[in-house]
Structure 1
Amino acid sequence: MLRNTSSEDISFYEVELRQAVMTAFCNVLHGSRLPPMTVLSMAAEALGSVYKEIYDAHRGDNACPCGWQPDPRVDIAMLQTALAMTARILPEPDLRRMATVGRA
């Protein structure tokens, strides 16, 4: 958990970020008429660009004093996992493929 941040605060900020991303996505989608996957790829590139900028701000002589030490290999893997877990679509249950477990 983040220091001095409650789970309620984290939930609030997750919703706030999601709404901001969804608003930007819809604005680009409707304004450009690009396919949804193209716009989603652009959003992923934007997030990568934000990570790079934050990474740069935490390196060198004038680094941010917060103490975070970026590790691109670990950080990017964590971002990929978060994307995969959140976006994963679970198959709908299909009674025709379920094993019979008893009798009614």
Structure 2
Amino acid sequence: MHPRERLRAEAEARGQAALEQALTLAFWDALERGPLPPMAALEAAARTVGTLYRQIASLHGPSPRCGCGWTPEPDEDLIRLEAMLAAALIERHRPALADLPVQGRA
């Protein structure tokens, strides 16, 4: 991988991790604050993702107001988002190397 591509991929991964952390914190905060069943909170999160997609897609449509080059493909994008949701539902937590117990010395 070209160094520039690697840097872009690393920056994107950091951005995704930061967004995931912020969303997770907001979700748990909402559950702790009041009587909100978990499924109702998840439904609200899903609606919000749909709304965000619609808003950002409107900025990238036929007359884009952003120069990033992304073109919304609603059908394909929905399939991709559904696949990410499904993968997250069935994904098993795998401990990071740093989380594993030490098994000797190198």
TM (normalized to structure 2)? Answer: 0.71
**In structure 2, distance between residues paired with 1:61 and 1:15:** 30
Matches within 5 A, 1:79-90: 79-88=81-90
- RMSD of aligned residue pairs (Cα, Å): 2.1
**In structure 1, distance between residues paired with 2:13 and 2:61:** 29
* Number of residue pairs aligned between Structure 1 and Structure 2: 88
Identity of counterpart residues, as a percentage?
Answer: 33
Partner of 1:46: 48
Partner of 2:22: 20
1:16-49 deviation per Cα after TM superposition (whole angstroms, max 9, x unaligned): 1111111110121122321111101100110111
Query: Based on CA coordinates, which of the two structures has the bigger radius of gyration?
Result: 1
Matches within 5 A, 1:1-104: 3=5, 5-6=8-9, 8-88=10-90
The answer for unaligned runs of 5 or more in structure 2 is 93-106
**In structure 2, distance between residues paired with 1:10 and 1:72:** 22
The answer for unaligned runs of 5 or more in structure 1 is 91-104
Letter in 2 for 1:35: P
User: Which secondary structure does the structure 1 equivalent of 2:68 belong to?
Assistant: coil
Moved more, 33-42 or 55-64: 55-64
